[in-house]
Chains A and B, each alone.
Chain A
Amino acid sequence: MAFLPELILLAGALAVFVVCLGEGRVRLAKATATGAALGTLLACLVSFRETALLFEGAYRVDLFSQGLKLVFALGFLLVLVIGGELPDIREDAQPEYYLFLTLSVTGLTLLVSCVDLLTLVVALQLASFPLYFLVALRRERDDQRSQMEAVVKYIMFGITATGIMLFGMSYLFGVTGTTSMPTLQARLASLVHSPVVIAGLALMWAGLLYKLAVFPFHFWTPDVYQGGSNETTSLVASLPKLGALAVLVRFVTLATPDHEPLALLLTCLAIASMCYGNVLALVQKDVKRLLGFSGIAHAGYALIGLVTLDPVGHVAALYYLIAYQAMVLACFVVVCRVARTGGNVALGDLAGLHRRSPLLMMTLLVGVFGLAGLPPFAGFMAKLTLLKAALAKGHLTLVIVAVLNTAVAIYYYLALVREACFRDPEGQPEVRLDVPTRALCVALIAGVVLLGVTPTALLEHLGTALATAWGPIGLAGSGIP
């Protein structure tokens, strides 16, 4: 029962694989994947309050993991709807798109439950490799071969980051003699200030920071965003970041709250990410590339929550990234629908969106102003939670840098608004939306607003989830097999 969501996802992936063996079964593949997504969603709801320690303590099902799995299942469904008819994926590879999509989500779903370094690496790779393929699946055009460059960068950086991560893990293993995180935590408690452990932890984070696209592990981001098809990018930009952050949160708690070197390291990463992402986003003309740089900046904001090294900050960081999912997906719906044939969308292509499709304009407006951190949208309340947590720990400089960055960022977000709302269409056609897309737009708008106005339930859930995820009772394991 506790393993139900994963089982359904795995079964779904297998089913899509079988479907892929035939010719021209795009619709069937999509239906199967959608079925798997819906099934997972249901299973996540059913198993929401399950707790269990599986596979000899390597896999932990608790409130924390189940909550995130619910978000992943929801995100999976959204990405499927956003994909639509996959205009930018090669026809012969379209069924495989659904296969890799399902597999990647499976990897993420497994990732948040892993409490052993080895299963963790395996899950991380399961989440990553399908993404590499997905990027490469983009349709080739005369002027468009950038996907290959993107995918090579993605793989190279990915593998390097994983290598560094494994290297860091080897230090930790060398010091503690275990790969099981609960044991690791217990044994590290006394060693956590020794240089080798700090180095080990920092190196180990590299693999996750890469997924989160934090400076200096961000180099793949703009190219993959631009090179990948719109549908793929909407996945790359959303769910893996949350997965990475969730694991990062588990790792960061290995350090004690007053651990200054690690806090300093995270502070530097956060500041570098925010500044770098926001400044470079200012000059972008391609919408996806712009969102890529803004994603780097947002990863920096999310790290603010980790700097505090206390549960309040971690809750804030998770809340921030969950809100980010909704906001960034809102932007990507617009990108995917405006690009009818699947090409990249330049800022100018959004011109006059308010005439071409008012609903899309509203979606973009809500997404963009959310990302910019304006109330009443989710981005504001999440940022407020983050800043409050950081300030409570005395990180005043970090907070001021963050708010100044918010002020800088508004400029490029307004560039999107300027095109969509203030310019008139110059011959661009009207954008017609099918019923699922309309529903999706309304749902995302409602989501961004509700996450911003009534975050109480989510915050409380994350609070209890984190409290139980590290309570000694949970870790010692009332081992339900």
Chain B
Amino acid sequence: MPPVVSSESLPYLSLLIFVPLGAAVIAALLPGERAVRWWTLGVSVVVAVGSWPLYGRFDAGTAAFQFVEHAPWIPALRIHYTVGVDGISLLLVLLTTLVLPLCVLVSWRQISGRVKEFMVCLLVMEGAMLGVFCALDFILFFVFWEAMLIPMALLIGIWGGPRRVYAALKFFIYTMAGSVLLLVAILALYLELGSFHIPDLMGRELSLPFQGWVFAAMALSFAVKVPMFPFHTWLPAAHVEAPTAGSVLLASVLLKMGTYGFLRFCLPITPQATMLFVPWMVALSVVGMVYGGAAALAQNDLKKLVAYSSVGHMGVATLGIFALNREGVEGALLVMINHGVTTGALFLAVGLLYERVHTRELARVAGVGRHVPVYTGFLGIFALSSLAFPGTNSFIGEFLVLSGALGWARAAVPGWMAWVLLGVVPGVVLAAAYNLRMLQRVAYGGPRNPDHAGLKDLELREVVTLAPLLVLVFWIGLNPQPFTRVMHASVRHLLEQMGGP
């Protein structure tokens, strides 16, 4: 197990988690919508900037957890407050802090009612999401994991679209049903190994049947969150009904928690069981890719289209994870980041379009391109990124995952399982198809629609919202080294725990 290293004088991670939570309380007491908006923006920007030193001071040479803080929390139950990051969680933390200011910005005009409550929900979400990625105590993790449900459900249910209540409840019930079994798994592990401390649980001797049950319970919970193929039905509903900021949070951060869970818990804690389930997980991932792509191709609602594309992209991520080799896992991590950047950006773009034309129907937004060139430029780049065009971020990630998956296929036992990978081909083609279809319609399609004549192009605030993601698309796409650099040690260590090469 990796030793925990703490060399920091400043409790970085605790600050990251609790500054937003504290700011939420203050926001609730502030008078006036303007003040609340600026306060939330200010706090989220400060947190985003404040999280950079994490990257700068991160020691990429070790797999150990860094920036660790450790304190007893509930001694009677042997629960500790332990936080720390390693190469797997670091980028996700940074992604989370980056996305939040964008969510605030995009909601600036869009959310007009109950602004204060909205901003409080966003800040609470930020604290809880960072908590999930930083927690090194299983109960602490679970507390953040579940606590996040409440503000998210409120975001969907109060500020969402026409079917918001249905979507919010479905989201809540699916996730909750998934996570109760996770709780049993946590308790079972505790009784078997005597600890809630996550690094302590990794790489321990456990009997195979026990591992199998624990894996199944945890995997079910994470599979709902990802969402993997048969458990994905909450996702389109939640994405479509959520306000733009909610969709972005869901896509960019929440879905990552499922794949993060696989990497952080399933693989290192139950390695033999993982091996056992790999063919199934790979098959489900591939089915997810094809299904997500096919469903996205059939959508006429832009948000639904992007939502189903998420199912496909996350299929790529899980495929990479369960390839269980270096390319696969690093590729999966990169796909997670890329999906956060690209799909988040696409949801932002759809939201901005909706603010202008008040519809998301592909047929009715057709041909807006000629009126809003700057917007269309952004959309085009993000759509190309979504289909993994070379030079954009997704290309690197998917390429790594595919080479990892092929590596798995060569070693697959029994050999016929490798044929599952043939499904990847239609998956990739479909991704190109639905993205190009969307882009073609929005940018060039359709007759001249008189409704679109007076459309305003992006204003400065909106450009500022999209620009950071655009920069990331090309930065990761052209020079992924700074991003993959921090993963190597942790991923190698993870695979060593799996007993692999």
Contact = CB atoms under 8 A, between A and B. Distances in A.
Interface string B163-198: 011001100110011001101100110110000000
B165 A418 contact: yes
B76 interface: yes
B184 A422 contact: no
A308 to B, nearest CB: 13
Interface string A66-87: 0000000000000000000000
A214 to B, nearest CB: 22
Nearest to B179: A407
A414 B150 contact: no
Nearest to B183: A403
Contact of A406 (B149, B180, B191): B180
A459 B76 contact: yes
A421 B187 contact: no
Contacts of A459: 74, 76-77
A356 to B, nearest CB: 13
Interface in A351-400: 354, 358, 365, 369, 374-376, 380-381, 384-385, 387-388, 391-392, 399-400
A477 interface: no
A394 to B, nearest CB: 9
A191 interface: no
A260 interface: no
A404 interface: yes
B75 to A, nearest CB: 6
A399 B146 contact: no
B142 interface: yes
B158 A422 contact: yes
A258 interface: no
B125 to A, nearest CB: 14
A463 B172 contact: no
A285 interface: no
B68 interface: no
B278 interface: no
B375 to A, nearest CB: 32
A388 B150 contact: no
Contacts of B190: 388
Q: DSSP class of B's interface residues: helix, strand, loop or mixed?
A: helix
Nearest to A406: B180
Contacts of B164: 422
B405 interface: no
Given A374-B146, A399-B187, A384 B169 contact: no
A387 B165 contact: no
Q: Which of B139, B150, B181 has the most CB of A within 10 A?
A: B150
Contact of A414 (B75, B172, B184): B172
Q: Which of A376, A380, A388, A391 has the most CB of B within 10 A?
A: A388
A421 B150 CA distance: 11
Nearest to B139: A384
B374 interface: no
Contacts of A381: 74
Nearest to B149: A374
A341 interface: no
Given A388-B187, A403-B184, A463-B76, A376 B143 contact: yes
Nearest to A400: B184
Nearest to B75: A456
Q: Which of A358, A384, A454 has the most CB of B within 10 A?
A: A384
B140 to A, nearest CB: 9
B147 interface: yes
Interface residues of B, number: 34
A407 B178 CA distance: 9
Given A421-B157, A421-B158, A456-B74, A410 B176 contact: yes
Contacts of B168: 418, 422
B76 A456 contact: yes
Q: Which of A392, A407, A460 has the most CB of B within 10 A?
A: A407
A385 B139 CA distance: 11
B88 interface: no
A421 B154 contact: yes
B143 A375 contact: yes
A90 interface: no
Contacts of B191: 388, 391-392
Q: Which of B142, B172, B181 has the most CB of A within 10 A?
A: B172
A410 B139 contact: no
Given A354-B158, A375-B147, A422-B157, A414 B77 contact: no
Contacts of B75: 456
A460 B74 CA distance: 10
Contact of A455 (B74, B117, B154): B74
Contacts of B146: 374-375, 380
Contacts of B117: 354, 358
A387 B74 contact: no
Contact of A418 (B157, B177, B181): B157
A414 B165 CA distance: 10
Contacts of B76: 455-456, 459-460, 463
Interface in A393-433: 399-400, 403-404, 406-407, 410-411, 414, 417-418, 421-423
A391 B181 contact: no
Interface in A156-208: none
Contact of A403 (B77, B142, B181): B181
A74 to B, nearest CB: 22
A369 B183 contact: no
A205 to B, nearest CB: 27
A407 B180 contact: yes
Nearest to B190: A388
Contact of B177 (A358, A407, A422): A407
A451 to B, nearest CB: 12
Contacts of A385: 77
A415 to B, nearest CB: 9
Chain A to chain B: the 3 pairs with minimum beta-carbon distance, closest first: A375-B143, A403-B180, A459-B76
Given A358-B117, A418-B168, A421-B154, 8 more contacts: A375-B146, A375-B147, A384-B187, A387-B187, A392-B191, A417-B153, A422-B168, A459-B74
17 contacts: A354-B114, A354-B158, A369-B150, A375-B147, A380-B143, A391-B187, A399-B184, A399-B187, A400-B184, A403-B183, A407-B176, A414-B169, A417-B153, A418-B157, A418-B165, A421-B158, A455-B76
